[in-house]
Each structure stands twice: as structure tokens, then as C-alpha cells.
Amino acid sequence: MDPSIYKIVELVGTSPNGWEEAVESVVTRASKTLRNIRIVEVLKLDAKVDDGKVILYRAKVNLSFKFE
Amino acid sequence: MDPSIYKIVELVGTSPNGWEEAVESVVTRASKTLRNIRIVEVLKLDAKVDDGKVILYRAKVNLSFKFE
Amino acid sequence: MDPSIYKIVELVGTSPNGWEEAVESVVTRASKTLRNIRIVEVLKLDAKVDDGKVILYRAKVNLSFKFE
Amino acid sequence: MDPSIYKIVELVGTSPNGWEEAVESVVTRASKTLRNIRIVEVLKLDAKVDDGKVILYRAKVNLSFKFE
Amino acid sequence: MDPSIYKIVELVGTSPNGWEEAVESVVTRASKTLRNIRIVEVLKLDAKVDDGKVILYRAKVNLSFKFE
Amino acid sequence: MDPSIYKIVELVGTSPNGWEEAVESVVTRASKTLRNIRIVEVLKLDAKVDDGKVILYRAKVNLSFKFE
Amino acid sequence: MDPSIYKIVELVGTSPNGWEEAVESVVTRASKTLRNIRIVEVLKLDAKVDDGKVILYRAKVNLSFKFE
Amino acid sequence: MDPSIYKIVELVGTSPNGWEEAVESVVTRASKTLRNIRIVEVLKLDAKVDDGKVILYRAKVNLSFKFE
Amino acid sequence: MDPSIYKIVELVGTSPNGWEEAVESVVTRASKTLRNIRIVEVLKLDAKVDDGKVILYRAKVNLSFKFE
Amino acid sequence: MDPSIYKIVELVGTSPNGWEEAVESVVTRASKTLRNIRIVEVLKLDAKVDDGKVILYRAKVNLSFKFE
Amino acid sequence: MDPSIYKIVELVGTSPNGWEEAVESVVTRASKTLRNIRIVEVLKLDAKVDDGKVILYRAKVNLSFKFE
Amino acid sequence: MDPSIYKIVELVGTSPNGWEEAVESVVTRASKTLRNIRIVEVLKLDAKVDDGKVILYRAKVNLSFKFE
């Protein structure tokens, strides 16, 4: 790692299928506007429930990337 | 959301297959006695180990539902 | 549980496939030198990202085992 | 205080008018089924926003009462 | 441990004699209505003081038991 | 909630009149540049004091909104 | 701010009318003996309840002032 | 409780015999200069060890009392 | 204290009689292999319950000792 | 302070020479695009190590500035 | 350490030159009125920024000393 | 980073000259017995005071290294 500056942003991703896919959805979407993402850290996992079933997994994450 | 009251209860679910299944087992079981569950939040993930292998995944969660 | 002493060590496991596999890799590896591991607890989940994709899942865990 | 046992339950109250009213709504509603409530403690304050305006104040609280 | 569901409730016990007795008073009292309590975890210890003396020990605890 | 991505930003609002007004001032101001704000969460409440009187209420909050 | 030293003290204020008044009561009372109070920070909000009604709002705060 | 102001101070008590005695030693000593102490809350328990034996129990506590 | 290096390890001790004895059991046992233990700090206290009675006190602690 | 709105962003700065220089590098770099920075708060300090030597100091900080 | 009582006070020191000097300024200033200070613990480090430069380092600390 | 396992140990380093030197002393000393240390993270900074002067800086850190 060179003496660079990194920025950390907090995002929430969702998926009907699971938490890993919710995290990946954040990374995929954020990569369209943020270059050089290097770490995604899980802050909180929860899910929406309807009629006794988990219907939407949510992952709150911190994304860190080079601040250019 | 209408001006309702919600209650939050803390439960631990288990599964031999993974943490998402452990969380789902809590939701399924709790839905038998609690109506209108809307959010399940993960508080802690751990697992029992035996003979060098994970044998039981455990998820401590908060369930929130309408307090009727 | 008999009146024994347990020790807790902090480890980080990694996997290209997911967090459960990252946790299992710690348990498998640690079992070669530590006997009687009984609980693995997740402390933190993050992942390395490259070119807009998650490439390495990491799980920081506490392992508890009998202190003999 | 005599040597009694107290129970603590976690609830979320809401109000369109403010957080104190959201807290009072929890106390009023819970008093219908729980006797001898003595303390309400604020755990978290948030609010729903729509069209640039706060529309619903929410207060997550702990209620403690005699366990009879 | 079989793949069961556990529930966790928060209680406060008191005793004029000490914190261990305060914790035991919670377990004894709760056992009258809750079956299969397995763990009591200390969350907070405090005490009431009067005229320069500790007069009532209080223990806030989490009790976990099978959710049947 | 559809499978969208949400972003969370941390802001501090102020008001000479009270904390709810301080929170509302953040929401009003942020809505000029951020669309689809849905939740404002209180992180910290403090106030400036001068000559023995509260002169400025401050609320540190998290705002979440759709990441488009 | 000049290179001064500040002291922080923890106090609890109460009011039958609301939390802002409880905080102001601390500032007013403390200003009689502490000069140059500059910040009051909320640490915890709770309230006493009697007969299903909030009867006393309490605010635990940190007060910072110049240490002369 | 009347609408009074309370102050909270942080102290560490010690005892060669146990933590409850360490807490009581703080209350006894502090009562010489502080009137109307009402609550002592445990913040941290530790102990000094020498030659494989606990030789001094220490309790860090918060004491709250009327601010007159 | 000379400019030495200290190491901290996390252990869990148990006792059927109380938490102080659980802590002492860790110190006694660890002293067989670790020299120059100087501080034991309580991280968490819980207990196993069976048939409505506390049957095993557990203390999770940090032990610090000279790293030679 | 006038009744303004402030924004807080999380950044990581690095320096081969020390943590204060790592913090200053964040402030210097961020000042190119953010006007009216007023506070930098340290959230976490760590460092990269190679061959038994600290080679890169890192400081995770919060920067607050006027939200114009 | 003899079975004494210690008190802990929270202070903020400042310095234009660095955090260690900010901490030392607290110790030097407090020693004029508090005897037998033995430990200073860092609680938070931040700094004031003006025109893109750190102009005042601040250290919030806990000071512990004999309570005589 | 390849799919390796890392271990984290908690240590306290000391120095009469400053916290960075206290951290470096841990890294230097630990490198004699631990290979492939890669990160040192600061957990807590404090110092011993004597006669109104800081005489020994202490840094509690986590060291992570390859678990081979």
C-alpha cells in the first residue's frame, strides 16, 4: 500500500436470496461510480419478513476505496 | 408504517447447515405464535465444533413484530 | 461441562467462496494443533474486492477450546 | 425498592408529532397489559422521512416492570 | 444441543446480601414460569445505597431457555 | 422495499430551539441535493452553552436514501 | 479555542415536562457553581412511570467547562 | 424522586477479600465527604495477582448522589 | 514498571461455588505454565442453570503477564 | 457557530513517519476538494509491519466540514 | 498498591504541537491541584482544523489519583 | 493475500519516550518469536504518571501474523 488516502462510505444492499448476494449487490452497483474499491466490511445483517418467511436480506456495509 | 407499537424479542436459532438456515428456523418457529413479524436482525453468529468440524450453526437474533 | 478451564484465541480465516467456508477453514486449520475446540464465534466479516468483484471473504473469529 | 424481580421488554413506539409522544404512546399502550411499569429508557431515536419531511417519529425503548 | 430454538429474556434480581444471591433469586423466581432455563448471563451489577451503606444488590441478567 | 441500494451519510444539524428542530433542519437542507431520503437516525445529541443557558441544540444524525 | 484545559462532569437532571427541560435544569443548576460551561452532551434519556403515565423525565449528561 | 440534580463520580475501590468488599470500601470512604449517595454501579472488575494468587480485588464504580 | 512487554490472553474459568472462585481457578491453573501473571480482568460473568438452580459459575477473563 | 449543517466523512490517511503525519495527510488532501473543514477526529490507529518493522502508519478519521 | 480508593476525572487538554503534548498539558495542569496522579488514559483524540491545516490537537483523557 | 489463516495476539508495549515508540517496542520484541507479522492495531493508549510528569507510555495493541 502506497501512502494514499482512502475513503469509507456506508451503504445498504439487498437480495431476496441471501446476505452474501446482498453484499455483492452493493459492490457491483457501487463499482459503477467508485473506482478502486478494495474492502467491503459488514456492519449489520438483517432481513424483512412477510407471512412467516424471510423475503429480503439486507446488509449494511462499509466500502473503502482510493480517494483520488 | 402506521402509528403502531412494535415489540422486539431475542431468540437463538440453530441449524446443522448454515447461518441463514439458522435464522430462517427462528422465523418459521416464531411465526407459529407471533403474528406480523416484520424484521429479523442478526445480533451474533457462532457455531458448535466437534472433532474439528462445525456441527451446529447458531444465530442470535432480534425479531420485531406488531404488539397487538 | 465439568469445572475446566477454556482458552479463547482470535484468528482470521479466508475463502474465495463465502464466509461460512472462511470460518470452516479456520476450524479445520486450527484443529491440527488445538485439541477440543468447542465453539467458534464470529467477530467480524469483511471481504477483499478487486475490479468490482468480491475476491476473498474473510472472517475474524474467536475459537474456544479446553486449556490442558 | 423491596427485593422483587423486574422484567425488561424492548418496544418501539411511533408518533407523527415528536419523540416524547412516541415514548408516551409505548407507555400508554403497554400499560393495558403490563402492570407496575416503573421505568422507560430510550435506546434509539429515528424517524421516517417522506418528500423531504419527517413524517413519523420512532423511539425504541426498554420498559421495566414488576415480574409478578 | 439439538436444533432447537432458545429465547432470551432480560430480568433484574435483587438481594440484600450480595450479587450472587441477586442472580440466584432471578433464576429461582423465573423457574416457576419458564421451563428449561439453561444460561443466566450478567449484564450489569449495581446497588442501592442508604446512609453510607449498600442496602440492596441488583443484578440485571439475560436468561435463556428453550422456546417450546 | 425493492432490491435497491441505499446510502447512509452522517450530518450535524443545529437549532436554537430544540433537538427535533435540529433534526428537521438537516432533513430539509439535505433534501435539496439528496432525493428519496427515507430514514433519519439520531446518533448523538448535545448543545452549546453560554452564560449558563443552552444557546444551540445540535443533533448528529445518519440519513439514508436511495443510491441512484 | 486557546490551549486551555477543560473538565467534564457527569450529571443527571430531571423534569416533569420533557427531556429538553431536564437538560436545561442541569445547566441552570450547575452554572451556579461552575463557570464557563460550554457544552452539554446527552448520554442517556429515561423516565419514571407511574400508573401508566410518564411522571419524571431524566437526562444523564456530560458537562464540559474550563478548568481554572 | 423529586426534580433534583444528581452527580456521578468514578472511583476505584480495593479489597484483599473480594469484589463486594471492594465496592463497599468505596461507598464507606466516599460517604465521609459525599452526602446522599444513592446508587453504586459496577463499571469494571479486575484483580492484582502475585505468585499465582489473587492478592487485591479492584472494582471501578460510578457513584451517584444529590448535587446540593 | 520497567519498559517491558506484556501479553494478554483470554480464558474462561468455572466453579460450582461462585464467580470469585471461578476467577481464582483460572489464575491457579494458568500459573502452572505462565510466569509473572500480574492482572486478571473480568470480561463476562454467566452461569449454567439446571432444574431451576445455578450449577456452574463461569468467568471469562483477560490475564496479563510478562512476555519473556 | 451559526445554525449551519455539517457533514462528516470517514477517511484513512497513511504516512511512513507517524500517526500525526498520517492525520495531517488526510486533512491536506481533503482540503483540496472540501472547504471549511473544522474538526478531524481519530477513529482508529494501526500500522503495516514488514520484516519486524513498522513501515506505514494508518489513521482512520472522521472529518467534519460545512455542508454548503 | 495498598487497599486505597482512587478517583477518576475526565479532562480535555490541548496543544498546537501534537497529542502527546496535549496529554502532558493535562497532567501538568492537573498536578497543581490533584496530588498523587498515577495514570492518564486516552479516551479520544481529535483536532481543530483551519484553512486546511491542523491548528490545535485535543486529547480527552481520564486521570486517576488517590482519593484522600 | 492468499487464502491463509492469521492469528491475532494482544500485547502491551511501553516506552519512556512516547506511544509510537511503545508500539514499535512491541513489534520489535514480538518479531523475535513470531514470523510474518503484518498489522499492529492500537487498542488503548495510557501512561504512568509520577510527581506530575508522564514517566512511561503504554500501548495495548493487537498484532496479526500468519498462523503457520
C-alpha cell at B18: 448454515
CB atoms within 10 A of CB H35: 11
| Chains in contact with D via at least 3 Cβ–Cβ pairs below 8 Å | B, E, F, G
Q: Is H16 on the interface with I (CB under 8 A)?
A: no
| CA torsion, ordered K24, K28, K30, K33, to nearest 10 deg | 170
pLDDT digits (tens, 9 = 90+) for I6-62: 999 999 999 999 999 999 999 999 999 998 999 999 999 999 999 999 999 999 999
Q: Which of C2, C3, C7 shows the shortest C-beta gap to I11? A: C7
Contact H27, H40 (CB under 8 A): yes
Contacts of J62 in chain F (CB under 8 A): 10
Whether residue K8 and residue H13 make contact (CB cut-off 8 A), yes or no, is: no
**With 0-12 CB in 10 A as exposed, 13-18 as middle and 19+ as buried, what is F63?**
buried
Task: Check pLDDT > 80 for residue H1.
Answer: no
C-alpha cell at D58: 420512532
Percent of chain F with pLDDT over 70: 96
Task: Check pLDDT > 80 for residue J2.
Answer: no
Contacts of B53 in chain C (CB under 8 A): 24, 27-28
C-alpha cell at I68: 519473556
Residue G15 banded pLDDT, cuts 50, 70, 90: very high
Task: Check pLDDT > 60 for residue D7.
Answer: yes
Quote the minimal CA–CA distance from K32 to chain J in Å. 29
Give the H/E segment covering residue D19.
helix D19-30
Q: For chain K (length 68 residues), average pLDDT per consecutive 10?
A: 81 97 96 94 98 97 93
Nearest of G55, A51, D48 to residue B3 by alpha carbon = D48
Contact F44, G42 (CB under 8 A): yes
Whether residue F12 and residue J3 make contact (CB cut-off 8 A), yes or no, is: no
C-alpha cell at I37: 501473571
- For testing the chain A interface, which of B1, B10, B19, B20 should be mutated: the one with the most A CBs within 10 Å? B20
Residue I3 is predicted with a pLDDT of 57
Nearest CA in chain H to I32: H52
User: Does the structural domain I6-63 have CATH classification 3.30.1660.10?
Assistant: yes
Residue F67 is predicted with a pLDDT of 87
Kindly tell me whether chain A and chain B come into contact, counting contact as 3+ Cβ pairs under 8 Å. yes
Contacts of A29 in chain F (CB under 8 A): 5, 67
Whether residue B5 and residue D48 make contact (CB cut-off 8 A), yes or no, is: no
For strand G6-15 and strand H6-15, is the pairing parallel, antiparallel, or unpaired? antiparallel
Alpha helices per DSSP H over chain K: 19-30
Whether residue J5 and residue F12 make contact (CB cut-off 8 A), yes or no, is: yes
Instruction: Give the 3-state secondary structure of residue J24.
Output: helix
pLDDT digits (tens, 9 = 90+) for D18-64: 999 999 999 999 999 998 999 999 999 999 999 999 999 999 999 99
Quote the minimal CA–CA distance from D11 to chain B in Å. 4
C-alpha cell at K66: 488517590
Contacts of D38 in chain G (CB under 8 A): 48-50
Q: Is D58 on the interface with F (CB under 8 A)?
A: no
Contacts of K28 in chain L (CB under 8 A): 52-53
Residue L2 is predicted with a pLDDT of 47
Fold of the domain spanning B6-59: Dodecin subunit-like (3.30.1660)
Measured in degrees and rounded to the nearest 5, phi and psi for residue L25 equal: -65, -35
**With 0-12 CB in 10 A as exposed, 13-18 as middle and 19+ as buried, what is B63?**
buried
Whether residue E25 and residue D8 make contact (CB cut-off 8 A), yes or no, is: no
Alpha helices per DSSP H over I1-68: 19-30
Q: Is K30 on the interface with J (CB under 8 A)?
A: no
Please list, in sequence order, all residues whose beta carbon lies within 8 angstroms of the beta carbon of residue I63, skipping any fewer than 6 positions away: H49, I8, I9, I10, I11, I26, I27, I30, I34, I37, I39, I40
Task: Check pLDDT > 80 for residue E68.
Answer: no
pLDDT digits (tens, 9 = 90+) for H7-39: 999 999 999 999 999 999 999 999 999 989 999
Whether residue F5 and residue A16 make contact (CB cut-off 8 A), yes or no, is: no
Q: Which of E46, E48, E53 shows the shortest C-beta gap to H42? A: E46
Amino acid at K3: P
Low-confidence ranges of chain F (pLDDT < 70): 1-3
Q: Quick one: three-class SS letters along B11-50? A: EEEEECCCHHHHHHHHHHHHCCCCCCEEEEEEEEEEEEEE
Please list, in sequence order, all residues whose beta carbon lies within 8 angstroms of the beta carbon of residue D33, skipping any fewer than 6 positions away: none
Contact B54, C23 (CB under 8 A): yes
Contact C30, C24 (CB under 8 A): no
**With 0-12 CB in 10 A as exposed, 13-18 as middle and 19+ as buried, what is G39?**
middle
Interface of E with D in 34-53 (CB under 8 A): 48
Mean pLDDT in residue range A50-63: 97
- For testing the chain K interface, which of J1, J9, J24 should be mutated: the one with the most K CBs within 10 Å? J24
Fold of the domain spanning D6-66: Dodecin subunit-like (3.30.1660)
Whether residue J46 and residue L27 make contact (CB cut-off 8 A), yes or no, is: no
What is the average pLDDT score of chain E?
Answer: 94
Quote the minimal CA–CA distance from I59 to chain C in Å. 10
Task: Check pLDDT > 50 for residue B67.
Answer: yes
Whether residue H12 and residue K5 make contact (CB cut-off 8 A), yes or no, is: yes
Quote the minimal CA–CA distance from I52 to chain L in Å. 38
Domain E8-38+50-61, architecture per CATH: 2-Layer Sandwich (3.30)
Residue J1 banded pLDDT, cuts 50, 70, 90: very low
CATH class of H7-59: alpha beta
Domain G12-61 sits in CATH at: 3.30.1660.10
